[in-house]
Amino acid sequence: MSLLKPGHRGCAGCCDALAGKFVLDALGENTIVVSPTGCLEVFTTPYPESAWGVPWIHSLFENAAAVASGVEVALKALGKKNDIKIVAIGGDGATLDIGLQAISGAFERGHNFTYICVDNEAYMNTGVQRSGGTPLYASTTTSPAGKVSFGNPQHKKNMPAIIAAHGSPYVATASVAYAPDMIRKVKKAADVKGPTYVHVHAPCCTGWRFEGSKTIEVGKLAVETAMWPLYEMENGVVTNVRKLKNRKPVEEYLKAQGRFKHLFTMQGGLEEIKKIQAIADWNVKHFGLE
């Protein structure tokens, strides 16, 4: 059985639950997990139950990287075996927004740990508010589409680049829709010495408004349209990308989700979709996806 046990309270088809399971599949029982506040944390540990088959700690929303670094240092100080893998698993809000300073500090200090961002592109736990990971024009509860708005006006923050700029030896993007690829990357991240990072794309059926049975499908469309490029960086250099054979237009990805529906119904919406297509085109060029 998986080390992330069944019976938790995640939505049916939950992306975060898949991500948590794949991380533990990759790392095994010799692992300590640190979770910031967010969906995965809340739905796995309704006291007195816990879905975690490994030691686990949740402290606050914005300090997972600092807590993880303290765990790492304590094990060193206590002379405990150094084959224990320490992993922080945080949402996009915990990672790109409120926890960024603690992450920066931990990566600068060079702790031997892995930070995994489970990016479902909004604050899901509190009801789908926008975050720094919310893509252009996604409608969220705090960036709703409306008569004079196409939804979230900002572009998604490029977190992997920020981490790479800290000199991390290994940074990768992954997707819950590509389990073997994700598991390989998480394993590799944990095996590489030093602070490493895996940014996992995680389509949230509840927040993005699609059927819970379509999580993998939507995740695949993100990759196939080049909205979510899969790549690995070693010491700041892109060393591996997942190439696209028959790239799909972004409309196919957008249409599958309620959060972009307004772009197809509002006047001028189709014109705005060109801006999203431009993001995909940039990804193709920048990462050499074709």
Partner 1 sequence: MRRRMVVVEGSYAVAHAVKVCKPHVISAYPITPQTHIVEDLSQFVADGDMNCEYMNVESEFSAISALIGASAAGARTYSSTTSQGLALMHEALFNASGMRLPIVMTVVNRALSAPINIWNDQQDSISQRDTGWIQLYAEDVQESADMLPQVYKLAEDEEILLPAMACMDGFILSHVYEPVILLEQSLTDEFLPPYSPEFTLDTKNPVSFGALADPSTYTEFRYKQEKAMGVALEKIEEIAKEFKDVYGRYYGGLIDEYALDDAEIVIMAMGSVIGTVKDTIDELRSEGEPVGLLKVRSFRPFPVDAIRSALKNAKIVITIDKNISIGKNEGALCTEVKACLYNTDLRIPVIGVMLGFGGRDIPMSTIKKVINKAKLVEKGIYVESEIADLREDMA
131 binds ligand TPP (CB under 6 A): yes
The one of partner 1, ligand SF4, ligand TPP, none whose footprint includes residue 146, by CB under 5 to 8 A per kind, is none
Copy the structure tokens of residue 185.
């990357």
Q: Give the count of residues interacting with ligand SF4 (CB under 6 A).
A: 13
41 binds ligand SF4 (CB under 6 A): no
Dihedral of CA atoms 278, 260, 222, 179 in degrees, nearest 10, equals: 160
95 binds ligand SF4 (CB under 6 A): no
15 binds ligand SF4 (CB under 6 A): yes
43 binds ligand SF4 (CB under 6 A): yes
The contacts of residue 208 (CB under 8 Å, 6+ apart) are 120, 121, 138, 218, 257, 258, 259
Which residues here bind partner 1, judged by CB under 8 A? 29-32, 34, 41-42, 45-48, 50, 52-60, 62-63, 65-78, 80, 84, 101-102, 104-106, 108-109
**CB neighbour class for 155 (10 Å; exposed up to 12, middle 13-18, buried from 19):** middle
| Strand pairing report for 231-234 and 237-241 | antiparallel
59 binds ligand TPP (CB under 6 A): no
C-beta closer to ligand SF4: residue 91 or 195: 91
In a 13 Å sphere around the CA of 44, the CA atoms on its Cβ side amount to 28
d(C-alpha 57, C-alpha 78), whole Å: 18
Residue (of 261, 253, 197, 196) closest to 228 by Cα position: 253
Binding mask 86-125 for ligand TPP (x = CB under 6 A): -----xxxx-------------------------x--xxx
Q: List the one residue from 91, 132, 195, 229 that touches Mg ion (CB under 5 A).
A: 91
d(C-alpha 22, C-alpha 43), whole Å: 17
Q: At 253, which amino acid appears?
A: Y
C-beta closer to ligand TPP: residue 93 or 219: 93
140 binds ligand TPP (CB under 6 A): no
Touching Mg ion, residues 100-139 (CB under 5 A): 120, 124
The one of partner 1, Mg ion, ligand TPP, none whose footprint includes residue 226, by CB under 5 to 8 A per kind, is none
205 binds ligand SF4 (CB under 6 A): yes
207 binds ligand SF4 (CB under 6 A): yes
Neighbours of 158 (CB within 10 A): 13
**Nearest residue relative to ligand TPP (C-beta):** 91
How far is residue 163 CA from its own chain's centroid?
Answer: 14
Give the Å distances, CA to CA, from 208 to 84, 140, 156: 36, 9, 15
Q: Tell me phi and psi for residue 234, to 5 degrees.
A: -115, 125
Q: In angstroms, give the least distance from the CB of 272 to ligand SF4.
A: 26
Neighbours of 174 (CB within 10 A): 30
92 binds Mg ion (CB under 5 A): yes
C-beta closer to partner 1: residue 24 or 280: 24
Alpha helix positions (H), 118-199: 159-165, 179-191
Q: Which residues bind ligand TPP (CB under 6 A)?
A: 16, 37-40, 61-62, 91-94, 120, 123-126, 131
Q: Which residues bind Mg ion (CB under 5 A)?
A: 91-92, 120, 124
